[in-house]
Amino acid sequence: MRIATWNVNSIRTRVDRVTDWLSRADVDVLAMQETKCTDAQFPAMPFAALGYEIAHVGLNQWNGVAIASRVGLDNVEIGFDGQPEWQALAEARAIGATCGGVRVWSLYIPNGRTLADPHYPYKLEWLAALRDSASKWIADDPSLPVALTGDWNIAPTDEDVWDPAFFEGSTHVSAPERAAFQAMVDAGFTDVVRPYTPGPGVYTYWDYTQLRFPKKQGMRIDFILGSAALSERVTHAEIVREERKGKSPSDHAPVLIEVS
């Protein structure tokens, strides 16, 4: 089974690119982030034409997460227990479903904005709540294959950014954010992609400005973290950098794993 994650940065803008890649890459399950539309606006028909079911949560033109699956879409869950709200408002940042026996979560972790912004402690609170819920999932059923996929908005190590000095004093690389990512690893989840895509210089995101992509000035912030029951079944992984090229690309590339 082939499972992928992709911050599509507006599904209505990029539906043709996404479905074309799904077809070419023979993907069974795709977790999407930043769909930027309501449920009613999601362009489900092109996915249905390829045999995919869709689970989506979107509340407005911001955020939005989805799962497209052609191997089943069961026990859909919007949000997780304890998921924080932003200033008393729910956000569309997490959706889970069981696809071909794997519990897949599409996650769009808050950006944090700046270290002084209220969005930064919200981000840390959100990550702590995710860790607590995810720890419980695998404690309750250690045999459950869980894939925590998505845009984590964290570069866990210095090799995950093109220039650590450039990001000094910024979000994505701060010690508390990196500690929150490590806490997920300590809770029993493994970055199942990195062994197949070692760095430095291996990125999943390149800003649209300053010719960051052709200059190879990116960040690795999109991950698939697997429970032990999933990690032992991963046989291949890749970052599909080519999909960052061409006309009207997302600023992120898909991340793909194969599971036996």
* pLDDT tens, residue by residue, 122-151: 999 999 999 999 999 999 999 999 999 999
CA separation, residue 45 to residues 27, 36, 68, 109 (Å)? 17, 17, 12, 27
Q: How far apart are CA 138 and CA 145, in angstroms?
A: 8
Q: Residue 151, annotated ligand binder? A: yes
Q: How far apart are CA 229 and CA 144, in angstroms?
A: 6
> Which regions in the chain score pLDDT beneath 70?
none
DSSP type of residue 219: B
How crowded is residue 61: how many other Cβ atoms within 10 Å of its Cβ? Answer: 13
Query: Is position 151 annotated as part of the catalytic site?
Result: yes
Q: What is the dihedral of CA 156, 157, 160, 166, to 10 degrees?
A: 110
pLDDT value at residue 161 = 98
pLDDT value at residue 101 = 98
Q: Which of 52, 56, 120, 151 is catalytic?
A: 151
For 145-168, b where at least 16 C-beta lie within 10 A, e where not — what string? bbbbbbbbbbbbeeebbbeeeebe
pLDDT value at residue 200 = 95
Query: Is position 20 annotated as part of the catalytic site?
Result: no
What domains can you pick out in the chain, each with its CATH number?
Answer: 2-259 (3.60.10.10)
CA 170 centroid distance within chain: 21
Q: Residue 34, annotated ligand binder? A: yes
Q: Which of 52, 172, 205, 252 is catalytic?
A: 252
Look at strands 146-151 and 102-108 and give their pairing.
Answer: parallel
Q: Residue 60, annotated ligand binder? A: no
Q: How far apart are CA 238 and CA 215, in angstroms?
A: 21
Query: Is position 39 annotated as part of the catalytic site?
Result: no
Q: Residue 53, annotated ligand binder? A: no
